[in-house]
Amino acid sequence: MVREYLKMTAVSFLLSASLMLAQTTNTITVKSRVSTSQVTSDADDAAVWMHPTDPSKSLIIGTDKGGSSNGGLFAWNLDGTQKQRISLNHPNNVDIRFGFKLGGQTVDLAAVSIRDSRQVRIFKIDSGSRKLSDVTTLDTTNVLNKTFESPYGLLMYKRPSDGSVFVIVSSRHTSFRDKLWQIRLEDDGIGRVKGVVVRKFGDYKNVVEGMVADDELGFFYASEERVGIHKYYADPLKGNARLAFFATEDSLVGNNEGLALYKCTNGTGYLLVAHPETRSIKVYRREGEKGAPHQHRLLTRIKDDSSKAGDGLEVSSRAYSPIFPYGVMIWHDQAGRNFRLYAWEDVAKKILSICDSGTTSVETDATGMSDPASGALALLQQNSPNPFNPETEIRFVLKKAPQGGAAPVWVKLTIYNLLGEEVRNLLNAPLTPGTYTVRWDAKDNKGLSAGSGIYFYQLRVPPSGIETRRMVLLR
């Protein structure tokens, strides 16, 4: 009788899980716009690096977790073509953070967990060549070169209060998988990156792989396979208490795997969770429920019926190119051994929000709009004041396209010197019809002050062409 009761109970649980899956409403079906080239063995995790001055030159960084000569770290352009491959033995997860102080410079870093060599490798991303180079410390006794057995899941976190950058790493090995290690990254004094362990915490029975940090709100999420998602403070100074535990809707029918955050500048957005067994992505509110920031309720699911969706997942709300004007979602395609790229507006549809990611520095006074005198889509006005010091304002008007209505168009506003060299990329983003004002603080793309002289500012609005005007900076 006891055996039959237990059997009936198990069946009841499975039926309940199936019902919960079936009752999820408003499932969003998506199609990708771009696919990356194939990897040799087994694509797994991805991150997106945003170019500091030209978002269209951003990169998708992803892992092929194959062993020996098959494994590697890849960089792809936004059109899916391969930019770089670095051979690595069983890399697993990758993450990126911007603005790390190294050797007297400010650089962007990618961290990768390497299972077979017990390492966490750190790569510098050069914005000029758009290539990665290994800057892991050469000290073989450092934790980055001698981590615990089988480092597996990985995230990066940058603490807003002081700019400190951390990695948090999990293990697949049975002797180490009960704990997460948090490691602070530091300059080792010779232009390479070393690690210092700042805490070990957790009490997990199963493997943790998918993890993501919310730098702005100060939390991180860790997905324990076949159990659920744990939420903690990302700052080690705030303790190890678990703040929330959720995403248990279908723990009986598979794993919660890759985690990603679609972040809006006002603290809202979405936590996305890949669930390979149902070939779907589960969506939760980043900010939690009203008055309950640590209560995360399932909102909807995202599906792509044309692919065998895997566990790797990334998303960004930044504008990258005319193909991805409102952000991009990157999803591992298991069968294709690659990654698919989805425009966020194709994901959001009428169910999720499209947020202002803060990628533009423009103000608009458009409630209707002024009509440019010519047939062009844009009218560039003279900057004011002119001459100027220390800053000036540039105004332009975007007109409704004859057939596009109020749909956004891609706008690029750039400052050049007399030699035709780019000084500052002020704007590269989609905008709707209206009148806009952009301020230039007389600094170049590196944050250095521009010298006195004549400069040209150029507005590009395809397909109508280019408008250019002259201005004078007097120091």
* Buried residues in 375-413 as b, exposed as e (16+ CB within 10 A): ebbbbbeebeeeebeeebebbbbbbbbeeeeeebbbbbb
pLDDT at site 461: 86
pLDDT at site 356: 56
Domain ranges in the chain are 20-348, 362-473
Q: How many angstroms separate the CA atoms of 147 and 400, rounded? A: 57
> What beta strand segments (E) does 146-290 contain?
151-158, 165-171, 180-187, 193-201, 208-214, 219-224, 228-233, 244-246, 259-263, 269-275, 280-285
From 141, 169, 50, 150, select the one nearest 99 (Cα to Cα): 50
Which token pair is 319?
């504008």
Assess if CATH 2.70.98.10 describes domain 20-348: no
Structural element, H or E, at residue 6: helix 2-23
**Residue ranges of the chain whose pLDDT lies below 50:** 1-24, 357-374
Q: What is the DSSP string of 414-432?
A: EEE-TTS-EEEEEEEEEE-
pLDDT at site 235: 98
Checking DSSP bridges between strand 453-461 and strand 165-171, what pairing results, if any?
A: unpaired
Checking DSSP bridges between strand 59-64 and strand 43-49, what pairing results, if any?
A: antiparallel
pLDDT at site 251: 60
Q: How many angstroms separate the CA atoms of 95 and 112, rounded? A: 7
Give pTM, 2 decimals. 0.74
- 3.90.79.10, 3.40.50.2300, 3.40.50.300, 2.60.40.1930: CATH of 362-473: 2.60.40.1930
pLDDT tens digits along 347-405: 998 899 887 544 333 333 333 333 333 456 788 999 999 999 989 999 998 887 655 55
Structural element, H or E, at residue 362: strand 362-364
pLDDT at site 409: 80
Q: How many angstroms separate the CA atoms of 121 and 107, rounded? A: 16
Q: What is the DSSP string of 50-66?
A: --SS-GGG-EEEEEE--
> What beta strand segments (E) does 70-104 contain?
72-76, 82-87, 91-102
- Taking every pair of C-alpha atoms in the chain, what is the biggest distance, in angstroms? 92
pLDDT tens digits along 116-146: 889 999 999 999 999 999 999 999 999 999 8
